[in-house]
């Protein structure tokens, strides 16, 4: 009863303060792809992703009703930084669906012209003016949006600007962005939320890096939680001092507090159960510098195994360069790649559940040994070779042999080396739909593919990779080019385990080096991945993407054909930039990967699709 | 071909081509579709006053198709020169369009013609045709297509003077569209801006970018009275993609340039 009354009160009181036009609401998720394309066409940086923003605490005066209802403490603001453009997950502030949708496209267009916002009035006005000047078609829709904004009713995450003191100036500025003297009359410190504009990023980027070395600990399989589609602010605190912990002084001298309380909560129980909703409730997620702490329960448990338990390192490691997009230079010898060979694997046969699949695939691959093409002047064949016939007729001395006047489709050898590079990072430990883990799917794929390839003359090598920062890139040899496919190879593939991160650029560079030693006419680099390149140092977001892209470009320059197969459903947003339009394939149902990869290989390497 | 085939030079390609012609060197032209490769060759043929024999290459094209074959006539068999042989004999330009589509062994027939020898051995008749003084070999292809089994043999590539083409810059493209269609400068400029924006989508949603040729087609339709927005939709958006989401984005883009729904 109490709950019912509470719910009723909540509905009643929020209705007094908000009017969402739910019937006209538009979701970002449905528009993400066109918005991204639109943003890029207008000149937005291809490395930035469009993502949903999070409601954000605003320092505005609330009316009594709003305070009673507890609404409008947080508002939905659009913002952007180096990595991405963050737009409201839903827009329902205008009564017409058309307008709400147009607002999304306006925001995407505006962000393409905006730097990271410093002055909320001046920057937005300037960018609007430039945009309207360059795209005269936008003027009509801009006017409509401004009119709608001025007359807008306050909704859950948007506030009517008439509630602010600077309303007349603001309306004036909104209506004439071209000829306004950039909002110098309005101070920068108390931004008014205008749905049409972008705002400065919420907090400074956490600049304190994670710095404790991953200490040896047994690897535990932990659940990975994913937040549903929203962007959280992050800050990182320096909690290394052992004396830190409790604040011991008189409480009266406390000036303020933030949500970070320096308590050591390692032993807190049941954190797993509600960790996602806890993360959702927090405005700022504070990350500890010590990854052993409770925060480790979310994701940071990637400690290296002790040398006894680890695979056998081969050699002293290989130094490789890395592309730093901020400096726009290839930093030589930045990465240390360690080839690894499993010494604990036991040779084994092909698992039973794959045997019938392999039997189905092998005929296709046997036929692939040679490419089929027309051969002329054959004594027998499928079609008449007119030239051959004419020649034999024109011949002054008729040979007693049979006329060779047919053409036949026969096979001819080809020269192709393929290196399969599999992502073995910890993210492959997650589950796919039917209870299988990604790593198991990858394992099956590798086994089935090498089984099929064993029946062609194409040469195959298989490597896996993972990484912990730039000085430890693990490059697992599963099968090299000269080695025959055998029980040993299968044993090594069966022994792959997920771990660590994805420094894709270095792995690609090393794979290219291996491929180049082959001297084949065609060299194909197939990459199996399950997500974006990332690592725990600066190798994430744009840095990782730019480095990988650079490695792919280098590969192309060396005459290697890189191709990426991914099971990441978000891959359409970044893979085209990495591998080009024809350079990748997204597998929607990961469990089908083992069968799809061989098919894809056939499709990629067969010249005559109709044959 | 006549000298009045309109072509607006983007750089020093005309000069390079003329020098290559003077020194009997073959030319390789690469560039995206619809950027003016074929138009350039025709323009140069006009300037040099030579005929042009064009062969559109495909993967069943054989050396016979280029060199020639025996045919049967009323009085028995006779030899018929192929386009390449004809060009070699009469001193014309032989233009092999999209040469990567042809099989690699076919293009080997070009080798003796594309180095200092400048001869074409005709195996069937035993004839060794020495190239006419004015004979010139020109090949072109679009490096954007990705099929791992296709591509030029390095030994073929290394016999050519290379010219890389791209879409012309905004001013030149505006001038080209105006000249080709007679459309007003304002519309031409807007079309070029739209084309420029669409080209940013290459590899992000579009396999190929909006070519100068497509922009010219759009301008033609506008000139004929079709509304700007409709012309852009049917001549730019639809030919570029089948994907509904990409079409939505392009439609919005067109609206940003040419006004939106009332």
Give residue-wise pLDDT tens across range B138-157: 999 887 654 555 667 778 88
Cα gap A464→A476, rounded to integer Å: 5
Cα gap A563→A584, rounded to integer Å: 5
Give yes or no for a contact between B11 and B52, defined as CB atoms under 8 angstroms apart.
Answer: no
Per-residue model confidence (pLDDT) at position A209: 41
Closest CB from B202, B248, B257 relative to A135 = B257
List, in order, residues 6 or more apart from B9 with CB less than 8 Å away: none
Secondary structure letter of residue B202 according to DSSP: B
Q: What are phi and psi of B232, to 5 degrees?
A: -65, -40
For residue A319, give the 3-state DSSP assignment.
strand
Per-residue model confidence (pLDDT) at position A306: 65
Site of tokens 């020194």: B23
Residues in chain B with CB shorter than 8 Å from the CB of A582 are: 145-146, 207
Site of tokens 């939905």: A76
pLDDT at B15 over 90: yes
Cα gap B262→B260, rounded to integer Å: 6
Give yes or no for a contact between A131 and A113, defined as CB atoms under 8 angstroms apart.
Answer: yes
Per-residue model confidence (pLDDT) at position A214: 41
Residues in chain B with CB shorter than 8 Å from the CB of A136 are: 190, 257, 259
Interface test with B, best of A28, A32, A33, A37 (most B CBs within 10 A): A37
Closest CB from B124, B198, B205 relative to A391 = B124
Give yes or no for a contact between B80 and B104, defined as CB atoms under 8 angstroms apart.
Answer: no
Name the minimum distance, in Å, from the CA of A567 to any CA of chain B.
Answer: 18
Q: Which of B113, B110, B120 is nearest to B156 (CA)?
A: B110
What stretches of chain B adopt beta strand conformation (E)?
27-30, 52-56, 68-73, 76-81, 93-97, 119-122, 127-130, 136-141, 161-164
CA-nearest residue to B187 within chain A is A136
Site of tokens 């190239």: B131
Residues in chain B with CB shorter than 8 Å from the CB of A33 are: 205, 245-246, 249
Helices (H) then strands (E): counts for chain A = 16, 22
CA-nearest residue to B245 within chain A is A34
Closest CB from B146, B256, B262 relative to A109 = B256
The DSSP H or E segment spanning A169 is helix A167-175
For residue A134, give the 3-state DSSP assignment.
helix
Per-residue model confidence (pLDDT) at position B59: 75
DSSP string of A368-401, one letter each residue: HTEEEEEEEEESS-SEE-HHHHHHHHH-SS--SS
Per-residue model confidence (pLDDT) at position B164: 92
Helix A167-175, helix A138-151: angle, nearest 10: 160
Cα gap A456→A449, rounded to integer Å: 11
- B252 confidence band (pLDDT: 50, 70, 90): very high
Identify any residues that bridge with A373 across adjacent strands, giving them in sequence order. A410
Determine whether the interchain pair A43/B197 forms a contact, defined as Cβ–Cβ distance below 8 Å.
yes
The token pair at A577 is 């930039």
- Region B188-200 average pLDDT: 93
Give yes or no for a contact between A101 and A110, defined as CB atoms under 8 angstroms apart.
Answer: no
User: Number of Cβ pairs closer than 8 Å across A and B?
Assistant: 112
Name the minimum distance, in Å, from the CA of A390 to any CA of chain B.
Answer: 6
Cα gap A523→A419, rounded to integer Å: 8
pLDDT in tens, A422-436: 998 888 888 776 677
Residues in chain A with CB shorter than 8 Å from the CB of B33 are: none
Query: For chain A, which ranges sit under pLDDT 50?
Result: 183, 204-228, 268, 291-302, 608-611
Residues in chain B with CB shorter than 8 Å from the CB of A374 are: 60
Give yes or no for a contact between A81 and A201, defined as CB atoms under 8 angstroms apart.
Answer: yes
Per-residue model confidence (pLDDT) at position A17: 67
The token pair at A175 is 């209506």
The DSSP H or E segment spanning B72 is strand B68-73
Interface test with B, best of A581, A604, A610, A611 (most B CBs within 10 A): A581
Cα gap A398→A564, rounded to integer Å: 57
Cα gap A205→A236, rounded to integer Å: 9
Residues in chain B with CB shorter than 8 Å from the CB of A37 are: 201, 204-205, 245-246, 249-250
Per-residue model confidence (pLDDT) at position A299: 45
What stretches of A303-427 adopt beta strand conformation (E)?
312-313, 318-324, 329-341, 370-378, 383-384, 406-413, 416-423
Rg of chain B over all Cα atoms, to the nearest angstrom: 21
Does A45 contact chain B (CB < 8 Å)?
Answer: no
Q: Which of B6, B3, B12 is nearest to B51 (CA)?
A: B3
Per-residue model confidence (pLDDT) at position B150: 62
Q: What is the pTM of this model?
A: 0.64
Most distant pair of Cα atoms in chain B: their distance? 72
Per-residue model confidence (pLDDT) at position A5: 85
Per-residue model confidence (pLDDT) at position A482: 87
Determine whether the interchain pair B77/A34 forms a contact, defined as Cβ–Cβ distance below 8 Å.
no
Determine whether the interchain pair B204/A577 forms a contact, defined as Cβ–Cβ distance below 8 Å.
yes
Residues in chain B with CB shorter than 8 Å from the CB of A376 are: 62
Average pLDDT, chain B: 88
Closest CB from B150, B253, B260 relative to A140 = B260
Contacts 24+ apart (CB under 8 A), A572-575: A572/A33, A573/A32, A573/A33, A573/A36, A573/A49, A573/A50, A574/A49, A574/A532, A574/A545
Residues in chain A with CB shorter than 8 Å from the CB of B72 are: 390
CA-nearest residue to A393 within chain B is B77
- Region B166-172 average pLDDT: 93
Does A41 contact chain B (CB < 8 Å)?
Answer: yes
For residue B191, give the 3-state DSSP assignment.
helix
Site of tokens 């080695």: A483
């Amino acid at each position: 009863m109490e709950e019912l009354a509470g719910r009723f009160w909540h509905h009643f009181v929020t209705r007094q303060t908000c009017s969402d036009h739910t019937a006209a609401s538009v979701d970002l998720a449905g528009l993400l792809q066109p918005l991204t394309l639109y943003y890029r066409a207008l000149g937005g940086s291809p490395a930035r992703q469009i993502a949903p923003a999070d409601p954000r605490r605003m320092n505005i005066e609330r009316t009594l009703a709003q305070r009673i209802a507890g609404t409008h403490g947080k508002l939905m603001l659009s913002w952007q930084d180096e990595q991405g453009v963050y737009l409201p997950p839903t827009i329902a502030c205008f009564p017409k669906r058309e307008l709400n949708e147009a607002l999304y496209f306006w925001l995407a267009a505006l962000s393409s012209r905006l730097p990271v916002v410093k002055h909320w009035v001046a920057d937005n006005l300037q960018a609007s003016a430039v945009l309207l000047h360059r795209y005269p078609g936008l003027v009509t829709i801009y006017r409509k949006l401004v009119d709608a904004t001025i007359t807008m009713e306050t909704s859950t995450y948007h506030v009517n600007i008439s509630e602010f003191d600077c309303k007349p100036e603001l309306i004036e500025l909104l209506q004439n962005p071209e000829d306004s003297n950039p909002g110098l009359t309005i101070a920068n410190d108390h931004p008014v939320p205008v749905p049409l504009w972008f705002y400065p990023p919420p907090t400074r980027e956490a600049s304190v890096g994670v710095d404790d070395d991953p200490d040896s600990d047994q690897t535990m399989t932990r659940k990975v939680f994913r937040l549903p589609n929203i962007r959280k602010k992050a800050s990182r605190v320096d909690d290394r001092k052992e004396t830190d912990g409790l604040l011991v002084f008189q409480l009266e001298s406390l000036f303020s507090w933030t949500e970070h309380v320096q308590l050591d909560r390692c032993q807190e129980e049941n954190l797993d159960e509600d960790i996602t909703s806890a993360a959702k409730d927090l405005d700022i997620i504070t990350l500890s510098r010590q990854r052993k702490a409770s925060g480790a329960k979310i994701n940071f448990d990637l400690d290296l195994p002790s040398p006894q338990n680890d695979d056998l390192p081969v050699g002293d490691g290989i130094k490789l360069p890395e592309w730093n997009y901020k400096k726009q230079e290839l930093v030589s010898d930045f990465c240390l790649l360690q080839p690894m060979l499993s010494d604990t694997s036991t040779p084994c046969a092909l698992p039973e559940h794959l045997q019938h699949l392999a039997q189905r695939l092998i005929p296709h691959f046997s036929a692939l040994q040679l490419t089929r093409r027309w051969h002329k002047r054959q004594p027998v064949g499928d079609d008449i070779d007119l030239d051959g016939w004419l020649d034999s007729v024109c011949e002054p001395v008729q040979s007693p042999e049979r006329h060779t006047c047919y053409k036949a489709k026969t096979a001819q050898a080809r020269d192709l080396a393929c290196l399969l590079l599999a992502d073995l990072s910890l993210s492959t430990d997650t589950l796919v739909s039917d209870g299988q883990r990604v790593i198991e799917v990858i394992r099956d794929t590798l086994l089935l593919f090498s089984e099929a390839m064993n029946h062609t003359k194409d040469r195959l090598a298989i490597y896996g990779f993972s990484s912990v920062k730039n000085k430890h890139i693990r490059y697992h040899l599963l099968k090299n080019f000269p080695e025959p496919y055998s029980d040993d190879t299968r044993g090594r593939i069966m022994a792959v385990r997920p771990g660590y991160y994805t420094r894709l650029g270095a792995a690609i560079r090393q794979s290219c080096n291996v491929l180049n030693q082959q001297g084949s006419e065609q060299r194909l680099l197939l990459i199996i991945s399950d997500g974006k390149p990332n690592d725990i140092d600066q190798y994430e977001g744009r840095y990782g993407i730019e480095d990988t892209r650079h490695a792919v470009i280098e590969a192309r320059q060396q005459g290697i054909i890189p191709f990426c197969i991914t099971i990441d459903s978000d891959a359409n947003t970044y893979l085209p930039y990495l591998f080009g339009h024809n350079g990748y394939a997204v597998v929607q149902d990961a469990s089908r990967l083992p069968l799809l990869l061989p098919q894809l290989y056939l499709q990629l390497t067969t010249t005559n699709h109709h044959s | 071909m006549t000298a009045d085939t309109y072509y607006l030079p983007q750089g020093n390609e005309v000069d390079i081509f003329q020098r290559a012609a003077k020194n009997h060197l073959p030319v390789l032209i690469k560039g995206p579709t619809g950027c003016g490769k074929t138009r350039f060759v025709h323009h140069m043929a006009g300037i040099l006053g030579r005929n042009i024999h064009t062969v559109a290459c495909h993967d069943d094209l054989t050396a016979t198709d280029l060199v020639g074959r025996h045919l049967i006539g009323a009085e028995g068999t006779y030899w018929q020169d192929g386009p390449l042989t004809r060009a070699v004999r009469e001193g014309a330009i032989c233009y092999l369009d999209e040469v990567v589509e042809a099989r690699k062994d076919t293009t080997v027939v070009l080798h003796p013609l594309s180095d200092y020898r400048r001869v074409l051995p005709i195996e069937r008749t035993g004839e060794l045709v020495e190239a006419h003084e004015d004979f010139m070999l020109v090949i072109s292809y679009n490096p954007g297509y990705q099929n791992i089994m296709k591509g030029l043999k390095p030994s073929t590539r290394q016999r050519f003077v290379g010219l890389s083409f791209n879409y012309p810059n905004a001013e030149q493209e505006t001038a080209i569209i105006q000249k080709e269609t007679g459309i007003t400068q304002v519309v031409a400029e807007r079309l070029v801006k739209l084309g420029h924006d669409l080209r940013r989508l290459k590899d992000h949603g579009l396999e190929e970018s909006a070519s100068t040729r497509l922009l010219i087609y759009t301008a033609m339709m506008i000139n004929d009275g079709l509304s700007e927005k409709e012309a852009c939709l049917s001549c730019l958006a639809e030919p570029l993609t089948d994907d509904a989401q990409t079409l939505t984005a392009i439609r919005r883009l067109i609206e940003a340039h040419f006004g939106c729904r009332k």
